[in-house]
Amino acid sequence: MNRDNGFMADLMDATSRFFYAVLRVDLMKESVKILQSRDLLQNEYPEMPWEVYLDRYTGIVIEKDFEFLKDSLSCGTLKRRIGSQAVRFFIDVPYIKNGKNEWLTISVILENDEEGIPYAYVFVQHANEEYVQRKMELEEARRQIKIDPLTGLFNFMELRRQAEEALLKAEENLALLFIDLDNFKGVNDRFGHMEGDRFLQKIAETMKGLLEGRGVCGRVGGDEFLILLRDVKNREYVEDVAKQICDEIYALPIKHNEEMHVSCSIGITMIPEDGRDYQTLVRVADYRTYQAKDAGKNRYWIE
């Protein structure tokens, strides 16, 4: 897969006006030579360790994507890829510039030179406004696929995906809480479905606030919700969360009506005590909500 210098020179000349930087990375020495750059790095650092340049240049990349970028473009990863069919690839990287969402497109061509030494040409390009708009629309569409449109919570399928992923990774200390509202039909019957929808949105906000940093919540449908609770310390910890949910939902006002309350019944399954199969865990948690209702509602059931 060798290319002569003329090819790369022609390529760089033809595309120079589009790229912010063109780099040649020596994958053995793990150093970078800047062939073209619109910033001062070209003059200050004609050669430097690859990780140093990556860190300096991509400091604008938001942190959660920066770690992914460093892993994807590390010399070790690129050396492994050079022996595969994937000798050309690109990565889109979101970052924030002057408070605005922007995108970088990083294209990579992997090669062995005439002496068999592996290297990579890296082309860094700022996306134009049209491209950024398309990417943002695509990201929003992907997000909407995962979201329940009424409450803004995850939908049932996305929560199932996250739970199954956690179970597949053999994560311990998990719990599933199946939540079924009590007497919610009365809200719709008395005040109408629009008020019922507003109340469901209040419940969603309440549960997101309670769960911040502790787990994720999704809407199963209608007046049913499901919570995946992570980093469960013990049984008492789960019961405390369930009690908070019961208390907070019962305290929510319904159109300034102090006499009417909606409560909830919660069925709880613990992982691994109640199993590791998602469908079984949800079915058992759902059954336990009925046990909570039979016991008087506005409570949780755990065994």
Residue 43 — very low, low, confident or very high, per pLDDT cuts 50/70/90? very low
Based on the fold, state whether residues 205 and 140 are members of the same structural domain.
no
Rounded distance between C-alpha atoms, residue 179 and residue 223, angstroms: 8
Residue 289 — very low, low, confident or very high, per pLDDT cuts 50/70/90? very high
From 71-80, 180-189, 265-274, the region with the lowest mean pLDDT:
71-80
Q: Does 178 or 84 have the greater pLDDT score? A: 178
Q: Looking up tokens 């860094």, which residue turns up?
A: 124
Residue 38 — very low, low, confident or very high, per pLDDT cuts 50/70/90? low
What is the span of the domain harbouring residue 257? Answer: 147-301
Based on the fold, state whether residues 78 and 175 are members of the same structural domain.
no
Q: What is the pLDDT of residues 44-58, one digit of tens each?
A: 445 556 666 666 655
Based on the fold, state whether residues 45 and 114 are members of the same structural domain.
yes
Based on the fold, state whether residues 281 and 211 are members of the same structural domain.
yes
Based on the fold, state whether residues 122 and 233 are members of the same structural domain.
no
Based on the fold, state whether residues 136 and 185 are members of the same structural domain.
no
Residue 7 pLDDT exceeds 50 = no
Res 112: pLDDT: 82
Residue 302 — very low, low, confident or very high, per pLDDT cuts 50/70/90? very high
Residues composing the chain:
303
Based on the fold, state whether residues 240 and 273 are members of the same structural domain.
yes
For residue 132, the one-letter residue type is V
Res 246: pLDDT: 96
Residues 6+ apart with CB under 8 A from 257: none
Residue 98 — very low, low, confident or very high, per pLDDT cuts 50/70/90? low
Based on the fold, state whether residues 152 and 281 are members of the same structural domain.
yes
Q: Which of 148, 180, 223, 274 is catalytic?
A: 223
Given a contact cutoff of 8 angstroms between Cβ atoms, the answer to whether 10 and 19 are in contact is no
Catalytic: 189? no
Based on the fold, state whether residues 193 and 290 are members of the same structural domain.
yes
Based on the fold, state whether residues 139 and 186 are members of the same structural domain.
no
Q: How many domains does the chain have?
A: 2
User: In sequence order, what DSSP letters do the residues of 187-198 get, joined into one string?
Assistant: HHHHH-HHHHHH
Residue 66 pLDDT exceeds 50 = yes
The two tokens of residue 71 are 């892993």
